[in-house]
Amino acid sequence: MIFMNFEKTSEKIPDFERERRKEAIERVKELDLMIPHHRDLVLVIIGQRPLTAFSFSVNVEKREMGEQFFQNLKEVAEKANLSVERIEEVNEEKGVVQNYFYIAQSREIISKTLEAEAKGDHETLGKLYGFPETAVEAFAKSQKEPEREKELLFKDQRDFLNSLSEEERKQIAREKLLGFFDFRLSKASWKEELEAVRKWKKALEEEDPELAKKLSEGWNSLQVEFYREYEGKA
Protein backbone atom coordinates (compact mmCIF):
# COMPACT_ATOMS: atom_id res chain seq x y z
CA MET A 1 0.00 0.00 0.00
CA ILE A 2 1.53 3.30 -1.08
CA PHE A 3 -0.65 5.67 0.87
CA MET A 4 0.17 6.59 4.42
CA ASN A 5 -1.60 9.15 6.54
CA PHE A 6 0.52 12.28 6.32
CA GLU A 7 -2.08 14.67 7.66
CA LYS A 8 -0.95 16.64 10.69
CA THR A 9 -3.76 18.62 12.23
CA SER A 10 -3.03 21.60 14.43
CA GLU A 11 -4.39 19.66 17.42
CA LYS A 12 -1.89 16.83 16.98
CA ILE A 13 1.37 18.69 16.50
CA PRO A 14 3.39 20.22 19.36
CA ASP A 15 4.05 23.95 19.55
CA PHE A 16 7.70 23.68 18.52
CA GLU A 17 6.79 21.81 15.32
CA ARG A 18 4.04 24.29 14.52
CA GLU A 19 6.56 27.10 14.88
CA ARG A 20 9.07 25.36 12.58
CA ARG A 21 6.34 24.88 9.98
CA LYS A 22 5.51 28.55 10.22
CA GLU A 23 9.20 29.42 9.69
CA ALA A 24 9.36 27.07 6.70
CA ILE A 25 6.29 28.69 5.12
CA GLU A 26 7.84 32.12 5.56
CA ARG A 27 11.00 30.86 3.89
CA VAL A 28 8.98 29.53 0.93
CA LYS A 29 7.79 33.08 0.24
CA GLU A 30 11.39 34.03 -0.54
CA LEU A 31 11.82 31.31 -3.18
CA ASP A 32 9.96 33.20 -5.94
CA LEU A 33 7.93 30.15 -6.95
CA MET A 34 4.96 30.23 -9.31
CA ILE A 35 1.83 30.25 -7.18
CA PRO A 36 0.73 26.63 -7.88
CA HIS A 37 4.21 25.39 -6.92
CA HIS A 38 4.10 27.60 -3.83
CA ARG A 39 0.71 26.12 -2.94
CA ASP A 40 1.82 22.52 -3.40
CA LEU A 41 5.00 23.01 -1.39
CA VAL A 42 3.07 24.51 1.52
CA LEU A 43 0.62 21.59 1.38
CA VAL A 44 3.57 19.23 1.80
CA ILE A 45 4.98 21.31 4.66
CA ILE A 46 1.67 21.19 6.56
CA GLY A 47 1.24 17.46 5.98
CA GLN A 48 -1.65 17.58 3.52
CA ARG A 49 0.31 16.12 0.61
CA PRO A 50 3.18 13.58 0.67
CA LEU A 51 5.21 15.05 -2.18
CA THR A 52 5.62 17.81 -4.71
CA ALA A 53 8.11 18.44 -7.48
CA PHE A 54 9.02 21.22 -9.89
CA SER A 55 11.72 22.07 -12.38
CA PHE A 56 13.37 24.91 -14.24
CA SER A 57 16.09 25.26 -16.84
CA VAL A 58 18.98 27.72 -17.04
CA ASN A 59 21.77 28.38 -19.48
CA VAL A 60 24.97 26.47 -18.73
CA GLU A 61 26.78 29.68 -17.79
CA LYS A 62 24.16 30.23 -15.06
CA ARG A 63 24.38 26.67 -13.76
CA GLU A 64 25.05 27.86 -10.21
CA MET A 65 21.48 29.18 -10.02
CA GLY A 66 20.20 25.61 -9.74
CA GLU A 67 22.56 24.84 -6.89
CA GLN A 68 21.68 28.06 -5.08
CA PHE A 69 17.97 27.33 -5.36
CA PHE A 70 18.60 23.81 -4.06
CA GLN A 71 20.42 25.17 -1.02
CA ASN A 72 17.48 27.49 -0.30
CA LEU A 73 15.04 24.61 -0.72
CA LYS A 74 17.12 22.50 1.67
CA GLU A 75 16.67 25.20 4.31
CA VAL A 76 12.90 24.92 3.90
CA ALA A 77 13.09 21.13 4.11
CA GLU A 78 15.23 21.22 7.24
CA LYS A 79 12.83 23.56 9.04
CA ALA A 80 9.83 21.41 8.08
CA ASN A 81 11.56 18.05 8.65
CA LEU A 82 11.17 17.05 4.99
CA SER A 83 13.42 15.28 2.50
CA VAL A 84 14.61 16.98 -0.67
CA GLU A 85 16.50 15.91 -3.78
CA ARG A 86 17.79 17.64 -6.89
CA ILE A 87 18.50 16.01 -10.25
CA GLU A 88 20.49 17.94 -12.81
CA GLU A 89 20.51 17.14 -16.52
CA VAL A 90 22.95 18.95 -18.79
CA ASN A 91 22.36 19.33 -22.52
CA GLU A 92 25.74 20.46 -23.79
CA GLU A 93 24.49 20.73 -27.36
CA LYS A 94 21.81 23.26 -26.41
CA GLY A 95 23.83 24.78 -23.60
CA VAL A 96 21.00 24.23 -21.10
CA VAL A 97 20.83 22.73 -17.62
CA GLN A 98 17.51 21.28 -16.50
CA ASN A 99 16.98 21.15 -12.73
CA TYR A 100 14.41 18.83 -11.13
CA PHE A 101 13.52 19.24 -7.46
CA TYR A 102 11.60 16.78 -5.28
CA ILE A 103 10.49 17.56 -1.73
CA ALA A 104 8.57 15.03 0.33
CA GLN A 105 7.62 13.75 3.75
CA SER A 106 10.38 11.13 3.55
CA ARG A 107 13.34 9.96 1.49
CA GLU A 108 11.43 6.76 0.76
CA ILE A 109 8.69 8.70 -1.03
CA ILE A 110 11.24 10.40 -3.28
CA SER A 111 12.86 7.04 -4.09
CA LYS A 112 9.48 5.52 -4.96
CA THR A 113 8.69 8.55 -7.12
CA LEU A 114 11.88 8.21 -9.14
CA GLU A 115 11.23 4.49 -9.60
CA ALA A 116 7.66 5.15 -10.74
CA GLU A 117 8.81 7.85 -13.18
CA ALA A 118 11.34 5.46 -14.70
CA LYS A 119 8.60 2.84 -15.17
CA GLY A 120 5.95 5.26 -16.37
CA ASP A 121 3.78 4.12 -13.47
CA HIS A 122 1.15 6.87 -13.45
CA GLU A 123 -1.01 5.31 -10.76
CA THR A 124 1.82 5.12 -8.24
CA LEU A 125 2.92 8.65 -9.09
CA GLY A 126 -0.56 10.08 -8.60
CA LYS A 127 -0.88 8.45 -5.20
CA LEU A 128 2.55 9.65 -4.12
CA TYR A 129 1.62 13.20 -5.10
CA GLY A 130 -1.47 12.87 -2.91
CA PHE A 131 -4.14 13.25 -5.56
CA PRO A 132 -7.57 11.68 -4.89
CA GLU A 133 -7.46 7.97 -5.64
CA THR A 134 -10.40 8.00 -8.07
CA ALA A 135 -8.75 10.76 -10.13
CA VAL A 136 -5.47 8.84 -10.11
CA GLU A 137 -7.14 5.63 -11.27
CA ALA A 138 -9.00 7.42 -14.05
CA PHE A 139 -5.82 9.09 -15.27
CA ALA A 140 -3.89 5.81 -15.19
CA LYS A 141 -6.64 4.11 -17.22
CA SER A 142 -6.59 6.95 -19.76
CA GLN A 143 -2.86 6.40 -20.28
CA LYS A 144 -3.39 2.70 -20.93
CA GLU A 145 -6.50 3.28 -23.06
CA PRO A 146 -6.11 6.70 -24.74
CA GLU A 147 -9.35 6.26 -26.67
CA ARG A 148 -11.23 6.42 -23.32
CA GLU A 149 -9.65 9.65 -22.10
CA LYS A 150 -12.68 11.87 -22.83
CA GLU A 151 -14.93 9.32 -21.16
CA LEU A 152 -12.80 9.14 -18.01
CA LEU A 153 -11.43 12.64 -17.40
CA PHE A 154 -12.13 16.30 -17.78
CA LYS A 155 -9.48 17.84 -20.00
CA ASP A 156 -8.95 20.84 -17.70
CA GLN A 157 -10.85 23.22 -15.42
CA ARG A 158 -12.59 24.91 -18.36
CA ASP A 159 -13.91 21.56 -19.58
CA PHE A 160 -15.05 20.77 -16.03
CA LEU A 161 -16.88 24.09 -15.62
CA ASN A 162 -18.58 23.76 -19.00
CA SER A 163 -20.04 20.42 -17.90
CA LEU A 164 -21.74 21.81 -14.81
CA SER A 165 -25.25 23.04 -14.28
CA GLU A 166 -25.76 26.70 -13.43
CA GLU A 167 -26.33 25.85 -9.77
CA GLU A 168 -23.17 23.75 -9.65
CA ARG A 169 -21.18 26.57 -11.22
CA LYS A 170 -22.55 28.98 -8.60
CA GLN A 171 -21.50 26.57 -5.85
CA ILE A 172 -17.93 26.37 -7.18
CA ALA A 173 -17.86 30.19 -7.37
CA ARG A 174 -19.18 30.53 -3.81
CA GLU A 175 -16.49 28.23 -2.46
CA LYS A 176 -13.69 29.69 -4.62
CA LEU A 177 -12.16 26.23 -5.12
CA LEU A 178 -10.51 26.50 -8.54
CA GLY A 179 -7.19 27.93 -7.38
CA PHE A 180 -6.59 25.11 -4.94
CA PHE A 181 -6.03 22.27 -7.40
CA ASP A 182 -4.80 21.53 -10.89
CA PHE A 183 -5.05 17.75 -11.12
CA ARG A 184 -7.56 16.41 -13.63
CA LEU A 185 -10.92 15.54 -12.14
CA SER A 186 -12.53 12.27 -13.11
CA LYS A 187 -15.97 12.38 -14.69
CA ALA A 188 -17.30 9.60 -12.50
CA SER A 189 -16.16 10.89 -9.09
CA TRP A 190 -15.46 14.63 -9.32
CA LYS A 191 -17.80 15.51 -6.47
CA GLU A 192 -15.89 13.24 -4.08
CA GLU A 193 -12.55 14.48 -5.41
CA LEU A 194 -13.50 18.06 -4.61
CA GLU A 195 -13.71 17.03 -0.94
CA ALA A 196 -9.92 16.68 -0.96
CA VAL A 197 -9.67 20.16 -2.48
CA ARG A 198 -11.91 21.56 0.24
CA LYS A 199 -9.68 20.00 2.86
CA TRP A 200 -6.58 21.56 1.27
CA LYS A 201 -8.30 24.94 1.10
CA LYS A 202 -9.29 24.82 4.77
CA ALA A 203 -5.78 23.80 5.82
CA LEU A 204 -4.18 26.61 3.81
CA GLU A 205 -6.61 29.16 5.22
CA GLU A 206 -5.47 28.12 8.69
CA GLU A 207 -1.73 27.83 7.99
CA ASP A 208 -1.08 30.44 5.28
CA PRO A 209 -4.01 32.89 4.99
CA GLU A 210 -2.11 35.18 2.62
CA LEU A 211 -1.57 32.37 0.13
CA ALA A 212 -5.15 31.12 0.56
CA LYS A 213 -6.44 34.59 -0.31
CA LYS A 214 -4.39 34.66 -3.54
CA LEU A 215 -5.62 31.21 -4.49
CA SER A 216 -9.24 32.21 -3.77
CA GLU A 217 -8.88 35.14 -6.15
CA GLY A 218 -7.57 32.78 -8.86
CA TRP A 219 -4.09 32.33 -10.29
CA ASN A 220 -4.92 32.11 -13.99
CA SER A 221 -7.18 34.00 -16.38
CA LEU A 222 -9.89 31.31 -16.47
CA GLN A 223 -10.32 31.37 -12.70
CA VAL A 224 -10.32 35.17 -12.47
CA GLU A 225 -12.85 35.53 -15.30
CA PHE A 226 -15.09 32.83 -13.84
CA TYR A 227 -15.21 34.48 -10.44
CA ARG A 228 -15.93 37.87 -12.01
CA GLU A 229 -18.77 36.36 -14.03
CA TYR A 230 -20.37 34.88 -10.93
CA GLU A 231 -19.65 37.73 -8.55
CA GLY A 232 -23.01 38.66 -7.08
CA LYS A 233 -24.74 35.65 -8.66
CA ALA A 234 -23.43 33.06 -6.23
Residue 44: C-alpha distances to residues 53, 82, 130, 152 (Å):
10, 9, 9, 28
Model confidence, pTM = 0.90
Q: Which pLDDT belongs to residue 40?
A: 98
For residue 21, give the nearest of 215, 210, 207 by alpha carbon: 207
State the CB neighbour count (10 A cutoff) for residue 3. Answer: 10
**Calpha distance 25→21 (Å, rounded):** 6
Phi, psi of 97, rounded to the nearest 5 degrees: -115, 125
Q: What are the 10-residue block averages of pLDDT along the chain, 234 residues in total?
A: 40 72 94 95 97 94 92 95 95 92 97 97 97 98 97 98 96 96 97 98 96 96 95 76
Judge whether 215 and 38 are in contact, CB under 8 Å. no
Backbone CA torsion sign across 113, 85, 27, 20 = positive
